[in-house]
Amino acid sequence: MAIHEACGVFGVYDADGGCARSVYYGLYALQHRGQEACGIASINNMELSCHKGHGLVGDVFTEAIIGELNGTMALGHVYYGAEASARNAEQPLTLSYLKGSLAVAHNGNLRNSDSLRLEYEERGAVFHTSTDCEIIANIIAQARLHTESVEMAVKEAMTRLKGAFSLVVMSSRKLIAARDPWGFRPLCIGKKGKSFVFASETCALDSIGAEFVRDVEPGEVVWVFEGKMMSDRENCAGKSSLCVFEHLYFARPDSVIDGQSVYDARILAGQCLARERPVDGDVVIGVPDSGLVAAKGYALATGIQYNDGFVKNRYIGRTFIQPKQSSREEAVKIKLNPLRATIDGKRVIVVDDSIVRATTTDKTIKRLREAGAKEIHVRIASPKFISPCYYGTDIPSKDMLFACKHTTKEMCDIIGADSLGFLSVDSLSSIAPNSTLGFCDACFTEKYPVP
């Protein structure tokens, strides 16, 4: 079974060199999308080099390694996976084949990976990893044997792939970006001087001083060759399905995805939540980090004071993307510390982005009780999770989803809150009015855009 992943990709083309350092900074900006592993591949004088490993960007790369990777093109990847034991999951994936060298970085999850893997194994292919990325790389390499260019090989490969894939691909002379026809995962284009940049989020462009140009359209293939950018939009006619969870959780609030500010989307989610699930309280607090902006929106809509309710330990990662449940539970204990001055004796409205498994929510509520909260009213800036995600978000099978096993009242009692309320599914259409794409909300509705 393929590893489910929702990662970050970043690529740079700059004829003057220095690309590996730019990718290094870009991956730092995307670190929130994956903290398990990372890697950078580069091209220097037509030669492909790569370094990758498990850990954070700052731990895997040193000044010496960045210097060795320097070149005129580079791409990078930050990774998280549902299987911590998959030690071969680091990207970019690199290979040498008849037409030269190839590096691929992938964000998403294929739905037909098993059948594709079997097909290529029956042709004699040998796979060294369990990732979708290696399948994609093999399909591109074989397509290149009978197409006129690597970008056309990527285009042909896309017709074989079903599911979510935002790709950055590098040959010895070209840097290519491609996005699946549904646009499940974000991918944008930036420019800095004569250099071109591809990134999962606009915040990564900001990190190197690149100017946002536009988003890669769903189904589009974009490539840079000899300092010029070109694109093929032949497969850009379908219905789009950007993962709405990008706006609710995954993306950084300072990013703009397909025309919509993530910060504004979370403010609107909080405001909608306040109108739908009002409650009397003395203070509104958010659960760091992705619940903070929605909490501000809730406070704006109600007129109830917003304040900091937790002090976050900045040296521990996001508990949601820890690969094992035991890791998540241990991490939350040291991640958040309630701010007693805000909470003691107060009726506290706690806003969070979601409840998936609820294995950390009860512990957070317990700590607020211990800090002196008089009442605790939990408000969730997304609907109930009722179905798994198959397109790259780490949302497990139904038997692990809290909302599938309990009513709202039962959920409230289990987590130890005085009340519990969720954003309605109908409000999802209101939180991103500037988005150029439609949304996939299958985790809330069970309506999957791709079987």
Give me the active site residues, please: 7
Q: Rounded to an integer, what distance in angstroms lies between the CA atom of residue 423 and that of residue 420?
A: 11
CB atoms closer than 10 angstroms to residue 317? 18
Kindly give the pairing relationship between strand 347-352 and strand 283-286: parallel
Q: Are 296 and 286 in contact (CB under 8 A)?
A: yes
Task: Name the token pair of 130.
Answer: 């369990």
Helix (H) or strand (E) holding 132: helix 132-144
DSSP 8-class letter at 354: -
Angle at Cα 331 formed by Cα 327 and Cα 336, nearest 5°?
160
Q: Is the peptide bond before 451 cis (omega within 30 degrees of 0)?
A: no
DSSP labels, 134-203: HHHHHHHHHHHTTSSSHHHHHHHHHTT--EEEEEEEE-SSEEEEEE-TT--S--EEEEETTEEEEESSHH
**Local structure of 338: helix, strand or coil:** strand
Buried-exposed string 67-93: b where 16+ CB fall within 10 A, e elsewhere? eebebbbbbbbbbbbbeeebeebbbbb
CB atoms closer than 10 angstroms to residue 346? 22
Q: Are 297 and 271 in contact (CB under 8 A)?
A: yes
